[in-house]
Structure 1
Amino acid sequence: MDLGPYTSFIASSYLAVALVVVLLIIWIGIDYRTQKARLRTLEQSGVSRRSGRAATDVR
């Protein structure tokens, strides 16, 4: 496949998009772990989630 004089632009654009997608996936993974750790810390300190209560517990 011949892309003509735009080959380098097209290839670098695809590479840049792939890099951004990989970085976003890594960032989401790190943020997920951070949020899970924060939630675990809060639950250990006695704070509970509202979704963890039954409907009859609402005051």
Structure 2
Amino acid sequence: MDTFPVVKRQDEAAHGDAYRTKDLILDVYDRMEEARATGGECRTVLDPPPGKGPRHPA
């Protein structure tokens, strides 16, 4: 994630010293790994979820 310096600068400007985008992405990876390791279901935190919303008519 440190290869995206513009995103990092924008996040830090908007949220103080926090690189929010990086933290969110790493959290999602952790959730996916936990689901894989336990055989559980990984539910998206995205709203709308992938494949849904105005660009994807029913």
TM-score, normalised by the number of residues in structure 2: 0.40
Name the one with the larger helix percent: 1
Q: What TM-score do you get using the length of structure 1 for normalisation?
A: 0.39
Higher relative contact order by CA 8 Å / sep ≥ 6: 1 or 2? 2
